[in-house]
Chain A
Amino acid sequence: MSLRNLTDEQIQAYMDGTLPPIQREYVHRLLEQDPRYRDVLDDYQALYGALSHIQIPERVPGFADRVIDSLPAAAGPSWSRLRISLVAAAAVFSAVLALLLVPINWQPVLNFVQNLSLPGMDHIRAGLTSSLALLGRFSDLLPYALASLLTIMFYSVLDHVLRAARRGSQTTRLL
C-alpha cells in the first residue's frame, strides 16, 4: 500500500478512535512505517493533550437561583398551562351544565323516586325517602349540586386520560 494514501483526516480519525477495525489497522501500520506520518501523529497527540487542559466555563454561583426566581414570571411549562386550560374548561362546562339543569322541574323526579316500591328493603326505602324529602326541600339547589358533581367527574376523567396518554407516549419513546 502506498504511504501517500494516508490523509490528515485519517490520522485524526485514528486518534478519535472512529475508524473501522480494518482501516484502523491499515493506518496504524502506515504510522509505524513512515516517520513523516508519525510526526503528524505526534503533533496531534500534543494538540489533543493540550486541549484536555483547557478550562471550561465554571458554573456561576447563584445562577440557578436567579433562573428559578425568574420562573414564575415566565409562562410556566406547557403541561401546567394545559392543566390550567383544563380547569378553565371544567368551569365553562359547569356553568353550561347549570344553565341546562336549572330550568328543569325536579319535583316530579323526586316524587317518582320517593314512590318507588322497594319490596323487602324497607329500611333502605326509609333512609332514601328521608334523604329525598330533605333534598326536596332544597330542590332549587339540586341542579347546582348535580352540575358540580358532574364537573368534578369531567375534570377527573379528562385529567386522568391526559396524564395516561402523556406517560404512555413517553414510556414508548424510552423503549
Chain B
Amino acid sequence: MNSTPEQTQVMVDEVLSGNNQAFRGIIDANERLVRQIVYRILPNDADREDVCQDVFLKVYQNLATFQFNSKLSTWIGRIAYNTALNHLEKKKVPLVADSVDEETTADQWPDITDITEDFAESRDLSVKLAGEIDELPVMYGTILSLFHLQDMQYGEIADILSLPIGTVKNYLFRARRMLRERLMQKFTAEDLCL
C-alpha cells in the first residue's frame, strides 16, 4: 500500500467511525498481498477464498488495535500469514512444499486473453518459475514472493513472518540459491532472459 501514514490514519479513522465503505479502500490496496501470502501457504484452492475473506474480517475487527508502528500493509500481511497458518493447523496440513503441479499453478494465475508472442513467452516462463517456486519449502517461497513480487524490504518481511531479519535474509539467500541451481539445471540463462 503506497498511501502516506496520514492517509492511512484518515482511512482507518473513517472505518472506525463506522464507515464500512471506507474499508473497501483498505481491501483494494491489500487484496493482492493477502492473496500472495495465503496462496503461497495454502495448497487447497477451495480454502483460499474463505481464508482471504477471513483475513479481512480480522483486519476489520482488530483495526482499532493497529498501532501505526508499521505500515498498514505489513500489519495486514502478518494477519494473513497467521490466519493461513492457523488454518493449516486446524486442517492438520503439514507446512511443506506445495503439491501443486505446473498445470494447476498456471490455472491459478490470471487469464491472459490478449496474448502477444512476447507475452506468451513471459507467461510460459512465469509458469515454469512459479512451478519451481512451488517446489521450494513454503517459507522460502513466501519470503521470495514477498521480496521479489511485493517489493518488500527484509524488515517488513521479518515483521510479517515474526522472524529475525537475519533469518529472513538467510532464507532468502538459500531460496534463491536453490532456485538458481534448479533452474540452471533445466534452462539456459537465455531461456530465462526475455
Known: A57-B109, A59-B28. Is A77-B61 also a contact (CB below 8 A)?
Answer: yes
Contact B60 A74 (CB under 8 A): yes
Interface flag for A5 (CB, 8 Å): no
Pick from A28-36, A62-70, A97-105, A144-152 the stretch touching chain B.
A62-70
Q: How far is the CA of A42 from the CA of B180 in the complex (A)?
A: 11
Tell me which residues from 1 to 51 in chain A have a Cβ below 8 Å from any Cβ of chain B: 8-9, 12-13, 18, 42-44, 46-51
Contact B35 A57 (CB under 8 A): yes
- Chain B residues, CB < 8 A from A49: 192-194
Q: How far is the CA of A79 from the CA of B64 in the complex (A)?
A: 6
Q: How far is the CA of A174 from the CA of B145 in the complex (A)?
A: 29
Chain A 58-97, CB-CB to B under 8 Å as 1, else 0, gives 1110011011101110111111101000000000000000
- Chain B residues, CB < 8 A from A63: 27, 31, 52-53
Shortest Cβ gap from B171 to chain A (Å):
12
Tell me which residues from 156 to 184 in chain B have a Cβ below 8 Å from any Cβ of chain A: 169, 172-173, 176-177, 179-180, 183-184
Q: How far is the CA of A66 from the CA of B183 in the complex (A)?
A: 40
Interface flag for B82 (CB, 8 Å): no
**Main SS of the interface on chain B?**
helix
Q: How far is the CA of A74 from the CA of B18 in the complex (A)?
A: 13
Interface flag for A117 (CB, 8 Å): no
Interface flag for B1 (CB, 8 Å): no
Chain B 1-26, CB-CB to A under 8 Å as 1, else 0, gives 00001100100000111101101100
Contact B60 A77 (CB under 8 A): yes
Known: A47-B180, A71-B20, A80-B16. Is A56-B32 also a contact (CB below 8 A)?
Answer: yes
Interface flag for A170 (CB, 8 Å): yes
Count class of interface residues, chain A:
35 or more
Residue ranges of B at the interface with A (Cβ–Cβ < 8 Å): 5-6, 9, 15-18, 20-21, 23-24, 27-28, 31-32, 35-36, 39, 49, 52-53, 56-57, 60-65, 67-69, 108-110, 122-123, 125-126, 129-130, 133, 144-145, 148-150, 154, 169, 172-173, 176-177, 179-180, 183-184, 189, 192-194
Interface flag for A55 (CB, 8 Å): yes
Contact B130 A54 (CB under 8 A): yes
Q: How far is the CA of A80 from the CA of B108 in the complex (A)?
A: 38
29 contacts between A and B (CB under 8 A): A8-B173, A12-B172, A13-B173, A43-B180, A44-B180, A46-B193, A47-B180, A49-B194, A53-B122, A54-B126, A54-B149, A56-B150, A57-B32, A57-B35, A57-B39, A59-B35, A60-B31, A60-B35, A63-B31, A66-B53, A67-B57, A67-B60, A68-B23, A71-B20, A71-B57, A74-B61, A78-B63, A173-B67, A174-B68
Interface flag for A115 (CB, 8 Å): no
- Chain A residues, CB < 8 A from B145: 56
Shortest Cβ gap from B7 to chain A (Å):
11
Closest 4 CB pairs of A and B: A57-B35, A78-B64, A46-B192, A64-B27
Partner of A75, one of B61, B130, B176: B61
Contact B61 A78 (CB under 8 A): yes
Partner of B28, one of A47, A64, A79, A82: A64
Known: A55-B109, A77-B64, A174-B6. Is A64-B32 also a contact (CB below 8 A)?
Answer: no
